[in-house]
A = this chain, B = another copy of it.
Amino acid sequence: METIHIGMIGAGTVGSGVLKILREETHRIEKDFGLSIVLHSVCTRTPDKVLPILKEFPNTILTDDISKVAGNPEIDMILELIGGTTASEEIVVRSLQAKQTVITANKALLSEKGDSLFKIAEENHTEIGYEAAVGGAIPVIRAIRNCLAGDRFLGLYGILNGTTNFILSKMEKENLDYAAALRLAQEKGFAEADPSFDVEGIDTAHKISILGSLAFGEKIPLQSITTEGITKITRLDIQFASDLGYRIKLLGLVRKLDGKIEARVQPVMIPVQHAFASVMNETNAVYYKTAYAGSGLLIGKGAGALPTASAVIADLVYYASRRKKNLPLERNRFHRATISEANQTEARYYLRFNSVDQPGVLAEIAKVLGINGVSISSVRQNESDQEPAEVVVVTHPCVEASILASLGRIDSLDVILEPSIAIRLEDKL
């Protein structure tokens, strides 16, 4: 029987979940895995939330002093569950330098400071487990690391932010506009008071930078990811997408083409009959294409106390079994990817123009598109007599540059009232 001494830092939502699972499952884990888990310390500045459950861990030390946990030689493994990137970085550095294993659910920390942290881990021959940092309970890190080890990734696509997927789902299913759906998300606790981190796509960018780096074996820095959120998506776009047989999803995506990595966060339209499009509300999913395994899709809970804690505990058990066994360390440091400047692959686009309702508008739009080599597949216009008129164009496959050039010109026309919308159709998933 091996024994692992755990120090938990941060006792908020995820921490409470971890304590609950430890209370219920420690005995079974001991029996099934031959691993005795001892919760040595819990470090928090706000112990109120966990005081009741901590009564069931009578030998556990409760402290608010990080230095008594991170780096404490009596502790083998740190669960870093505080989030943020300042205090957490200090904790993780101190822990790694003391050769403690670190388990974290902190995607911002790994996305922004992973390089230096993984280096320190390597120098101290210890490991960082982060299954909980991306996609919550979806076993995506382990799948990439172990199950597709002999394979070669061609593309990786993630619905990785529950808040935005919830908002888009409610806009469609309950016919809400963006603001109302956001309010609903806030009421249900899925969105923060300041939702920009989620709705601007930054959270997704953090996660896809971690996943993409691991899958492609090339470092994809956060700063290299072209990021667009969902704030410009209207109920109209959702409705038009549905009429066309598509559903709008905010994707983080990484693709490799001609040796270059395309890394993006953007709303795209997915064919509604594709299983990826059926991922609704706060659920997360990762879709991938590889050279040999072909395509695969992993769907599950992306957040929440217990799902995230489940992933933390899985890492706890996994990395505990690897300590001091002279195993080759897992790879986390990669040379920097060559990022492609723009989207080079051809795709169809959905374009929506908000214009005055007068003869000749469509002709002007079509002319500009034609000049830029964008060929039109279909056109729709809503039937209302009121202004503004909404003109929707679906193009034949073309490169993004042609779309951007066209919109730049079209948006300067007097008849166009608002910035035009372009959404890529992911027909080839």
Contact = CB atoms under 8 A, between A and B. Distances in A.
Interface of A: 2, 17, 21, 24-25, 28-29, 32-35, 131, 136-139, 142-143, 146-152, 217, 273-275, 278-279, 290-301, 304, 306-307, 309-311, 313-314, 316-318, 321-322, 325-328, 331
Closest 6 CB pairs of A and B: A150-B313, A139-B147, A137-B293, A296-B300, A292-B310, A293-B310
Given A147-B311, A311-B293, A25 B137 contact: no
A313 B151 contact: yes
28 contacts: A21-B150, A21-B151, A25-B150, A25-B151, A28-B152, A33-B149, A33-B328, A139-B142, A139-B147, A143-B143, A147-B311, A150-B316, A150-B317, A151-B314, A274-B278, A275-B278, A275-B299, A292-B313, A293-B300, A293-B306, A293-B307, A295-B300, A296-B299, A297-B298, A299-B299, A321-B328, A325-B325, A325-B326
A2 B326 CA distance: 12
Given A150-B310, A278-B273, A331 B32 contact: yes
Given A139-B147, A142-B142, A150-B29, A295 B290 contact: no
A327 B325 contact: yes
Contacts of A17: 292
Contacts of A147: 131, 139, 142-143, 311, 314
B149 A317 contact: yes
A152 B316 CA distance: 16
Nearest to A278: B275
A186 B217 CA distance: 40
Number of copies: 2
A300 B300 contact: no
A395 to B, nearest CB: 27
Nearest to A273: B278
A321 B313 CA distance: 23
A298 to B, nearest CB: 5
A421 to B, nearest CB: 27
A321 to B, nearest CB: 6
Contacts of A137: 292-294, 296
A378 B117 CA distance: 61
A416 to B, nearest CB: 38
Nearest to A287: B299
A17 B278 CA distance: 32
Nearest to A301: B294
Instruction: Please indicate which of the listed interface residues A29, A146, A331 has the most CB atoms of chain B within 10 Å of its own CB.
Output: A146
A296 B301 contact: yes
A295 to B, nearest CB: 7
